[in-house]
Amino acid sequence: MSGKVFLISPEAPPHQFAGAGDTRKIKVGGIRLGTLDNTKGNADHLLAFVVENLQKVLNISSVLVMRKNNPSTPAPAPVLDRLAAECDFVISAMGD
């Protein structure tokens, strides 16, 4: 026996984020909030709970609810484009 031990880590390498996007000014009418549901069980309930409670403490003028096709793939570009165009802030959630 050589005395060497090979370890395999199941962790993925850290994701390199692009950084902050454009600064968005919140309009006088309130925050345009978006939600992105990953389609796992209870994600919709979690997002609804978060939105309901945010509406109690923030001036939210609209809520755009979007849903991915399935949990294992990224959201399609048209979904992300719509969220970027119509929302000041987006919350994404996973459930189970």
Note the pLDDT of residue 7.
66
Per-residue confidence band for 83, with pLDDT thresholds at 50, 70 and 90: very high
Over residues 9-37, the mean pLDDT reads 77
The rounded distance, in Å, linking the Cα atoms of 18 and 53 is 30
Select the more confidently predicted residue: 36 or 23. Answer: 36
Give the Cα separation of 30 and 60 in Å (integer). Answer: 5
- Identify the band that residue 48 occupies on the pLDDT scale cut at 50, 70 and 90: very high
Q: How confident is the model at residue 26 (pLDDT cuts 50, 70, 90)?
A: confident
Q: Taking phi first (over 0 means left), then psi (-120 to 50 degrees means alpha), and beta for anything else, what does residue 19 get? A: left
Q: Which pLDDT score, from 0 to 100, does residue 19 have?
A: 67
Taking alpha carbons only, the member of 19, 25, 17, 18 closest to residue 89 is: 25
Q: Give the C-alpha separation, 83 to 66, whole Å.
A: 8
- Which ranges of the chain would DSSP assign to H, the alpha helix? 43-57, 77-86
Can you give the residue ranges of every domain in the chain?
31-93
Query: For the chain, what is the mean pLDDT?
Result: 85
